[in-house]
A = this chain, B = another copy of it.
Amino acid sequence: MTDFSKLAIHTFTHKPWNLEDCIRHFENAGVPAMSLWRNLVDPAEGGIGLNEAVKRVKNSSLSIPALVRGGFFPGKTEDTRQEAIDLNRQYVDEAQALGADMVVLVVGAVPGMPLSEARKQVQDGIAAVADHAEQAGVQLAIEPLHPMYAGDKSCINRMQEAREICEALQHPMVGIAADVYHIWWDPEVENELRLSAEQNTLFGFHICDWRLNTRHMLRDRGLMGDGCIDVKGFMDLVESLGFQGYHEVEVFSEEYWGWDQNQYLNLILERYQALV
């Protein structure tokens, strides 16, 4: 029998499904956890609203490792930066209401702003949200994004820069979400995962795969086994480091979004079985 107890799936992996679909199908398939993307919650993005979302999640058997996503701290003006801080506080409140363990932070970048300046602003932004997060009992997980997103999505592109912010802030609620898609190529990745585990900042762990000949920078990820990442190696490593959290399957893929989503869910389970 496969142990699915550590499996979580991001709702965006099944983009065609709404919140109800995700909950029902994950429950039926024995998936114990789901990371929730805000587009299914926020009415402005087509979601059903926080109160409805909370009701459905609480009525389900699913754990919610993460609300995805906050961040986008750097801005050209103080007003923009304050807006981002306020929004992130709101996301923390939403996460608390939903019972999510953490908010994943895609930290942001501003074209034309030096990445080093953007990283300073990210650190200041997180610092301004951290105490609020602590009161809410919600972790803030910095997700280093692949360097190909450094232009306008994230000025933190390696575990190291995330670690440096964690070390600077020394805040119990500030840590890292490590996604193999973004970090697999980094010559320092094993060492950085080890450091993160030692420093109790390894909050999240996301799995998927890197397709050779990637056709789109945002929407062509592979499912574990489709590409060249040694996903099992990473899973074994974080386990050996004492990581207790979920293996969160996060795949953005036009190709898989075009599939029958139940068939796709079966494939996810199959691929996950091969890894545990």
Q: Verify if A230 is at the interface (C-beta below 8 Å from B).
A: yes
Interface size on A, residues (CB 8 A): 28
Q: How many protomers of this protein does the assembly include?
A: 2
- Identify A151's interface contact among B115, B148, B150, B227, CB under 8 A: B227
Which residues from chain B contact A184 at a C-beta distance below 8 Å? 150
Main secondary structure of the interface of A (DSSP, over half): loop
Q: Which of B112, B185, B210 contacts A228 (CB 8 A)?
A: B112
Q: With A and B bound together, what is the CA distance between A214 and B146 in angstroms? A: 14
Whether A258 is near chain B, meaning CB under 8 Å from some CB there, is no
- The reply to whether A147 and B186 contact each other, CB–CB distance below 8 Å, is yes
A159 to chain B, nearest CB (A): 12
Task: Write the nearest CB–CB distance from A193 to chain B, whole angstroms.
Answer: 15
Q: 1/0 per residue A146-190: CB within 8 Å of B? A: 111011100001101100000000000000000000001111000
Residue of B152, B158, B212, B228 touching A212 (CB-CB under 8 A): B152
**Nearest Cβ in chain B — how far from A162, in angstroms?**
12
Q: Specify the chain B residue showing the minimal Cβ separation from A217.
A: B214
CB distance from A32 to the nearest CB of B (A): 31
Hey, which chain B residues are within 8 Å of A161, CB to CB?
187
CB of B146 within 8 A of CB of A116, answer no
A228 touches B148 (CB 8 A): no
Asked if A158 contacts B146 (CB within 8 A), the reply is no
Q: Which residue of the partner chain, among B147, B187, B210, B217, contacts A185 with CB atoms under 8 Å?
A: B147
What are the 8 tightest A-B residue pairs by CB atom distance, in nearest-first order?
A150-B185, A111-B228, A147-B185, A148-B148, A151-B228, A151-B212, A147-B147, A152-B212
Pairs A–B under 8 Å by Cβ, sample size 9: A112-B228, A114-B230, A115-B187, A146-B148, A147-B185, A147-B186, A148-B217, A151-B210, A151-B212
Q: Identify the A interface with B (CB < 8 A).
A: 111-112, 114-116, 119, 146-148, 150-152, 157-158, 160-161, 184-187, 210-212, 214, 217, 227-228, 230
